[in-house]
Amino acid sequence: MYWLIGRKSQLTTENKLLLYKVIIKLIWTYGVQLWGCTKPSNTKILQRIQSKILRIAFNAPWYISNKTLHNDSGIPPVEDEIKRLTNNYIHNLTGHPNVLTSHLLAPPAVQKRLHRTWPTDVLS
């Protein structure tokens, strides 16, 4: 994909961003609703990749901040996109006509530890 989005590409910046949104973003957002329990280091990896792609697409020098790149391109950071997609998923589940989907939103039942009993001959 570097030859399409790279610095020497003949494509316009709008077309490069369109390629990012249509191909790359769809890949990393697949199943993003399940990422609520992921470590922040995993989302930071995606954020680094996204920032590199934006820097290459805009042909931006090193002193331009990533925040400026995100503001100019209109592409939100990875963490904001994960929050937006997760909230959208929860909103769609609350109004779903299938009754079984309500179990997906219910908090998990707290499992208590097993109460173990020791044999009486070991204790004495």
Cα distance between residue 113 and residue 30, in whole Å:
35
- Note whether residue 68 is domain-resident: yes
Rounded average pLDDT over 26-40: 80
The number of domains in the chain is: 1
- Note whether residue 93 is domain-resident: no
Cα distance between residue 39 and residue 26, in whole Å:
21
- Note whether residue 54 is domain-resident: yes
Greater model confidence, 82 or 119: 82
> Residue with structure tokens 């993003």?
32
Hey, CA dihedral for 24, 27, 33, 39, is it positive or negative? negative
Cα distance between residue 4 and residue 10, in whole Å:
8
pTM as predicted: 0.73
Greater model confidence, 65 or 114: 65
- Note whether residue 26 is domain-resident: yes
Cα distance between residue 9 and residue 1, in whole Å:
10
Q: What is the pLDDT of residue 121?
A: 54
- Note whether residue 114 is domain-resident: no
Closest CA to 82 of 49, 16, 33, 48: 33
Helix pair angle (40-58, 78-94), 10° resolution: 120
* Domain interval for residue 60: 1-85
Reading the block at residue 119, the tokens are 């044999």
- Note whether residue 31 is domain-resident: yes
